[in-house]
Chain A
Amino acid sequence: MGQSYAIEMLGITKRFPGIIANDNISLQLKKGEIHALLGENGAGKSTLMSVLFGLYQPEEGIIKKDGKEVKINNPNDANELGIGMVHQHFKLVECFSVLDNIILGVEPNKYGFLKKNEARVKVMELSEKYGLHIDPDAMIEDITVGMQQRTEILKMLYRDNEILIFDEPTAVLTPQEIRELMQIMKNLAAEGKSILFISHKLAEIMEVADRCTVIRKGKYIGTVETAHTTMSELSAMMVGRDVNFHVEKKESKPGEVLLSVEGMTVASKAHKNNAVKNVSLKVRAGEIVCIAGIDGNGQTEFVHGLTGLEPLVSGKIELCGKDITHSSIRQRSVMGLSHIPEDRHKHGLVLDYTLEENLVLQRYFEPEFTNKAGFLRFKNIRENAERLIEQYDVRSGQGPVTVARSMSGGNQQKAIIAREIDKHPEVLVAVQPTRGLDVGAIEYIHKQLVAQRDAGKAVLLVSLELDEVMDVPDRILVMYEGEIVGEFDPKTTTQEELGLYMAGAKKAEVTVS
C-alpha cells in the first residue's frame, strides 16, 4: 500500500557551534494523522521544527511535501506550503483584538484599506466548524491562555494551513483546557489536517497521538504506533534507560527543627485581604515537607515571605534557631536558606548573564570569587562553573559562557538547582521545581531533593502536581486560601482526600508539631 505523507523530513542534520542539534533525523507525517514528537528538553525537538518552519537551514537532509522535494528558506515559504505553527510562547499582539491578530500578515484589503467584515465572516465560520468558540472582538490581554491558544490555531486555519505544528501546547493550560485542546486536535485531524504535536508529556501523547517519533540528544531513536506501546516503553526510548516513576527513598529520620514559622501573615498584591493568614509550620532536619494546594492559594506569597522577597504583616521566622524575620535576602541566604524559585526567569536567573555568572549570583562576594581589592576572580568563577556543569550535567551550547536566556528550560532549572544545593544550605525551599520539565529531568530533581534530605537538610517543597505531592515528601500540608487546612502522611492518604482539602471542601485544625 502506497503511503501518502504530507511532510517528510529525511536525514536532517543541523549543527550549531559546539553542538549537533539534529543528527540525521527523519520524520514522516501522514495525511490526517496526529503525530507526536517526543524528546527530553534540549533533545533537538525545537531545532527540528525550526528547520521545518524555515527558521534554520539544515546542513544535510531534505524535506518533501506530498512526495516532492521543497526548499524552505523562511517562515513565509513554510506558510505558502501550508505549514503553520503554534509556538510555545504565543506570537500574539496583546493590545490587538483576536480578529486583528488572526488577519495580521494576510489582511484582506482593498487599496490597503482593511476589509474586516470579510475576515470576520471567515473567522466565525472556522471557529464554528472546529468548535473553537472565540470572540473575535475581545482583546488578547483580556482573554485566557486557552483562548489565546485557540486564536493561534485560528491563525493557522485562516491561512488554510494543512500541516499544523503544536509546540508543547499543554504546558500553559489548565487540565480542563487540556481536555478541550485534545478534542480540538482530534476534530482538526478528522477534517484532514495533519498535526505535529511536540511534547514530553507521555499521558497526553498516548491519548491523542496516532504515532510518535522519539528523539534523544539530537539522534533519531524510532517511530512507534501509540496503540502498540506503553508509557514506560516511550519514556525508556526518550531517556535511554528505564525511568522510575516512583521516588526511591528510605524512611526519614527527622532531627531538630531547622525552619520554624510562627503566625506568618503576608499581604496580597492582588486584593485587600491577606494572601497568607497566620500560618505556622516547622520543618526538621532530614525531612521533606510539601505544601500542596491549588495555584493561587497563598503558596507564592508564603514563599516570598519566607525568603524575604516580600515583607511580613506579622509573624516570626526562625532558621536554625536564629530569628530571621527581619533579615535581608542575602543574610538569609548566607545563613543557610536556599531557594529554587517558582519563576525561574524572574527570580532564578539573570537571563542576559552567562551561565558562570549566574552560578555565583549569591556567592560572588565571597573571598573565593572576589579578591581583597574588590575585583572578581574570573578564574575561580570559571572553575566553579565547570565543576557544577560537570556535576549536575547542565547542558548548554557554549558551556560556562553560554547566555542563560539561550538555554533550554530544563537546563536552566538544573543550573539553579546546582547553584542552590552547592552552597550547602540547611534549609532548601523548592517551589514547583519540576514545572515544565520532562520525566528524565523530573526524576533527577526528585533524587536531588531526597539526597538533600538524607544529608540531614530540611526541605520545603511547594507543588501543584498531585503525583509529586504523593511521591516525594514525608509530610504534606495542604494550603487553602492562605491557611494550612490539613496535615497528611503520604503513605496513608489518597489523592482524593487531598483533593477535598485543596478545594476547600474539608478543613482540619492543624497543630504545629
Chain B
Amino acid sequence: MVLLVQYTILFACILMLVALGGCFSEHSGVINLGLEGIMVMGAMGGALMMRYLPDGTSAFVVVAATILAALLIGMLYSALLAVAAIHFKADQTLVGTAMNILGTAAATVIVKSINTINNPDDHSSIVQYIEEKKAFIVNIGGFEFNWLMLLAVFVLVVSFVVLYKTKFGLRLMACGEHPQAADSVGINVYKMRWAGVLISGALGGLGGIMYITAGVSEWKFEYGVAGFGFLSLAVMIFGKWKPQNIALAALLFGFFRALSNVYAGFDFLVELNIPGGLYNMLPYIVSLVVLAFTSKRSSAPKAEGIPYDKGAR
C-alpha cells in the first residue's frame, strides 16, 4: 500500500512537472509536442552529471548539480523549438515530433559513444547511478521520500503564482491568447514565447531526470521515456491548462501508472489473473478514454500553434 502511494506521488510529480512545462509553453502560444524528447535529453544531462561527479561528493551537491544539469540540457534542447517555431515560423507539430525522434536517438548515440570510449567492448547505452541516486531519497518508515517530490510541489505553487499573480504571467498568457493585442500594448511577443518555451524545456528536463531515477538505478537510453512526455500532454489537456487542475489530473494518471509497478503486491489484483501487460497499458488507455470525452479544446490558448507575424493584419 505504501508502495502504491509512493509510486503514485512519484509518477504524478513527474507528469505534473512536464505538464506544467507544456502549460507555460502553450500559454505563450507555442505547442510543445517535443516534451518527450526534452525529457530524454534532460534525463541524459542529469544521468551523466551523476556519473561524473567525483565519489564522496556531498548529497546536497549531487542533488543540486544533477537537477541543474537536467534543467540546463532541457532548456538548451527546447531552444531548438523556440528558434524553429518563433523565428522560422515552422509548423510546431512537425518540429515537436522531430524533436522527439531526435531526443531519444541523440541521447542513445551520445551515451553509447561515451561508453565505448571508456571501454571498447561496451556498446550499451546504459548509465548507472546506484550510489548517487541515494542522495535523492530519504526513507521515512518504508516510504521513500524523494527530494524531487518537494521540488515538484514547489514548482506547482510557483507556477500558479507566476501565471495568475504576476506581470510576467499576465503577459505570457496574453501572447498565447491574442498576440496582436499583446503587441499593441508594447509587449514583445517573441521574447515572451522564448520565455515560455525555455521554461517548458527546464521543467521537461527536470521531469526527465525524475523519471529515470524513479525506482531504478540505471537507465538504458534506447528506451527513451516510454511516452511520458505524451502522457504529460494528456495531463495538461485534461487539466485544462491550469496548474491546479493539472496537479489533480497528474494524480489520476500517476495512480494508474503506479498500479502497473505494484499490482503484484495486491492479492486481490493478482487473483484477478489479468496479464501484467494490461496494467502497463492502463495509463495510456485511460488517457485515450479521458481525452476522447473531455478534450473539447475550448480551454486551449487560442493563438497556440500559430506563428506570430508582426506584419500580418
Contact surface of A with B, Cβ cutoff 8 Å: 75-76, 79, 85, 87, 90-96, 100-101, 103-107, 109, 112-114, 155, 405-406
Contacts and interface: CB of A to CB of B under 8 A. Distances in A.
B182 A104 contact: yes
Contact of B167 (A85, A92, A96, A112): A112
Contacts of A91: 178, 180-181, 184-185
25 contacts: A75-B185, A79-B185, A85-B184, A90-B181, A91-B185, A92-B181, A93-B173, A93-B174, A93-B181, A93-B182, A94-B177, A94-B178, A96-B173, A103-B170, A104-B170, A104-B174, A104-B182, A104-B187, A105-B185, A106-B185, A107-B170, A112-B167, A113-B166, A114-B167, A405-B313
Interface in B176-199: 177-178, 180-187
B171 A105 contact: yes
Contact of B184 (A75, A96, A100): A75
Contact of A93 (B168, B177, B186): B177
Given A79-B186, A104-B171, A104-B182, A109 B177 contact: no
A87 B184 CA distance: 10
A79 B182 CA distance: 14
A85 B302 CA distance: 24
Nearest to B187: A105
Contacts of A101: 181
B123 interface: no
Contacts of B177: 93-96
Contacts of B89: none
B255 to A, nearest CB: 30
Contact of B165 (A85, A93, A113, A406): A113
A96 B178 CA distance: 10
Interface string B67-89: 00000000000000000000000
Interface string B122-166: 000000000000000000000000000000000000000000011
Contacts of A92: 178, 181
B186 to A, nearest CB: 4
A114 B181 contact: no
A489 to B, nearest CB: 44
Nearest to B162: A112
Contacts of B312: 405
B313 A107 contact: no
Contacts of B181: 90-93, 101, 104
A227 B264 CA distance: 90
A93 B174 CA distance: 6
Contact of A109 (B166, B178, B185, B302): B166
A75 B186 contact: yes
Contact of A114 (B165, B178, B184, B302): B165
A114 B174 contact: no
B39 to A, nearest CB: 29
Given A96-B170, A155-B185, 17 more contacts: A75-B185, A79-B185, A85-B184, A91-B178, A91-B185, A93-B181, A94-B177, A94-B178, A95-B302, A101-B181, A105-B185, A107-B170, A112-B166, A113-B165, A114-B167, A114-B170, A405-B313
A500 B223 CA distance: 74
A85 B184 CA distance: 9
Interface in B264-313: 302, 312-313
A91 B174 CA distance: 10
Nearest to A85: B184
A96 B174 contact: yes
Nearest to A405: B313
Nearest to B298: A95
Contacts of B302: 94-95
Contacts of A94: 177-178, 302
B313 A406 contact: yes
Closest 9 CB pairs of A and B: A105-B185, A91-B181, A76-B186, A107-B167, A91-B184, A93-B177, A93-B178, A109-B167, A112-B166
A291 to B, nearest CB: 33
A456 B180 CA distance: 48
Contacts of A113: 165-167
A245 B185 CA distance: 41
Contacts of A75: 183-186
Most interface-central of A100, A104, A107 (chain B CB within 10 A): A104
A357 B186 CA distance: 36
A169 to B, nearest CB: 16
Contacts of A90: 181
A180 B135 CA distance: 68
Contacts of B174: 93, 96, 104
Most interface-central of B165, B168, B183, B186 (chain A CB within 10 A): B186
A91 B165 CA distance: 22
B165 to A, nearest CB: 6
Contacts of B167: 107, 109, 112-114
Contacts of A105: 171, 182, 185-187
A226 B173 CA distance: 44
A75 B182 CA distance: 11
Contacts of A95: 177, 302
A88 to B, nearest CB: 10
A100 B173 CA distance: 11
Nearest to B169: A114
B81 to A, nearest CB: 24
A142 to B, nearest CB: 14
